Amino acid sequence: MSLSNTAIKDAKPKDKPYRLIDRDGLYLDVRAKTKSWRYRYRFAGKENIHTLGRYPEMSRDEAREALIVLRKLLAQGKNPSQERKLERIRATHQNAQTFGAIFDEWVASRTWAESTKRNRLAQIEFHILPYLGQLPVREITPMHVLDVLRRAEKPGKSEKKTGRGARVRDVGSPNVARRLRHYIASVFNIAIATGRADTNPAGSLREVLTPAIRTAHKAPLKPKQVGVVLRALDAYRGDPKTVMAFRLLWWSMLRPGEAVAAHWDEFDLDAATWTLPRARMKNKNPQLPPHVVPLPHQAIERLKAWKAYTGGIGYLFPHRDKPGEPMVSDTLGKVHGRVGLDFPYSPHATRTTASTHLNQMGYRYDAIEKQLDHEDRDAIRRAYNRADYLDERRQMMQQWADLLDEWKTGGKVIPVGVRKSSTVA
């Protein structure tokens, strides 16, 4: 027997929740403070309960009309509860249709280091968002994206404050354009996956962009150039934090961002090791062990002096204006112009230079790659080769530091293929 409106209205709460059955699985769930319309049904052999709405906001007749819709979904082989969840997802995304809104979702999914995030966001806000940010993604065509990328290809320098307060010095180049194309394509991948776009207008543009240019500042330095850099650092009268950070770069072969964020808790000066948690590395795979860096005696001596000078608490190179944060890696890049070098050089070239010369000196490729924290491109070797080559790397980094001292003083260069004897196979 179906429920009457009078019975529904007069239903009073009891000590425990109870049901008033209407028809076809529809019932009124009566509780202390609420009355709710619910639908009891079976799907894929399991019992499900779907809440339609509350009484009196939803009347009996409205609940029955909603029931008809739900029963049609069941007849189509669809689970009403799952369909409602999907509809909520679709409704949420319908309110975020612009490129800028989906861009924010993409950024939230990234696990960039803070300095990397700051640099990339500034670049995107300079080149992309002013032209695509307010456009619905379904209206963006390959020609829209190509216009943005052609602008980014043009060389030039200017300074601009972005909407989020970052100040950007724009340097356009084919390399910048190609990097931006990848970012735009990534945003559209999210739009497609969430049903807000059907195609990726950036996906087909790789072949029409100007070919990438190998940047000279990452090329390996010659021994005499290394000597010039090291002597220039010794003579530099700027912030001593910058000089010390540069020295650690040369003694560790780490990336600039990893070096400048060094924390005293990571160092064991007695064991002459620097252990970086995986979250601080470019490869943040939590299944990998922390990255252990053996340090030469030159580094240990300098670190002990630096510890006495700074107090040895917190970051080795704290930010000048932001207590509790490390200095940014961009600081290292600015030193090039201040020390008067007459050849291209950037902090990242330190790794390239070390790798090149250590390979020429005959050190094992795997040991050098481990020191650089490079992931083996061969998936099988990556799965089975868990060696850390620590003993070999310790000898290698000591000889590297000794060689840097020789080059700084203009001493004799060690010939290719010659290294100190070792018991390491």
Averaged over 118-146, what is the pLDDT? 92
- The CATH number of whichever domain residue 152 belongs to comes to 1.10.150.130
> Is 323 a domain residue?
yes
pLDDT of residue 211 exceeding 70: yes
User: 318 has which bridge partners?
Assistant: 326
What are 307-345's pLDDT values in tens digits? Answer: 999 999 999 999 988 878 999 888 887 776 778 788 888
Q: What was the pLDDT predicted at 419?
A: 53
Clarify whether residues 347 and 332 are in a common domain: yes
Clarify whether residues 164 and 250 are in a common domain: no
Clarify whether residues 166 and 286 are in a common domain: no
Domain boundary among 192, 213, 234: 213
> Is 109 a domain residue?
yes
CA angle 162, 163, 168 (to 5 degrees): 10
pLDDT of residue 167 exceeding 80: no
Number of domains in the chain: 3
User: 42 has which bridge partners?
Assistant: 47
Q: What was the pLDDT predicted at 347?
A: 87
Clarify whether residues 132 and 16 are in a common domain: no
pLDDT of residue 240 exceeding 80: yes
> Quick check: 104 and 98 in contact, CB under 8 A?
no
**Alpha carbons within 13 A on the beta-carbon side of 420:** 11
CA distances from 111 to 100, 125, 283 (A): 19, 18, 10
> Quick check: 138 and 197 in contact, CB under 8 A?
yes
Judged by DSSP in three states, 240 sits in helix
pLDDT of residue 377 exceeding 70: no
Q: How confident is the model at residue 89 (pLDDT cuts 50, 70, 90)?
A: low
Clarify whether residues 182 and 303 are in a common domain: no
Domain boundary among 193, 213, 233: 213
Clarify whether residues 115 and 16 are in a common domain: no
Clarify whether residues 346 and 248 are in a common domain: yes
How many H-runs (helices) and E-runs (strands) does the chain carry?
18, 9
Q: What was the pLDDT predicted at 418?
A: 46
Domain boundary among 213, 244, 279: 213
User: 167 has which bridge partners?
Assistant: 161
Domain that holds residue 24: 5-92
For residues 310 and 228, give the distance between their C-alpha atoms in angstroms, rounded to a whole number: 28
Residue of 63, 67, 146, 132 lying closest to 98 (CA atoms) = 132
118 vs 370 pLDDT, higher one: 370
For residues 181 and 179, give the distance between their C-alpha atoms in angstroms, rounded to a whole number: 5
Clarify whether residues 330 and 402 are in a common domain: yes
- The CATH number of whichever domain residue 263 belongs to comes to 1.10.443.10
What are 244-274's pLDDT values in tens digits? Answer: 999 999 999 999 999 999 999 999 999 999 9
Clarify whether residues 300 and 269 are in a common domain: yes
Clarify whether residues 256 and 120 are in a common domain: no
* DSSP for residue 89: H
Clarify whether residues 241 and 389 are in a common domain: yes
Write out the E strands in 25-94. Answer: 26-30, 35-43, 46-55
> Is 231 a domain residue?
yes
Residue with tokens 């670049």: 123
- The CATH number of whichever domain residue 59 belongs to comes to 3.30.160.390
> Is 105 a domain residue?
yes
Clarify whether residues 73 and 180 are in a common domain: no
The two tokens of residue 296 are 């030469």
> Is 77 a domain residue?
yes
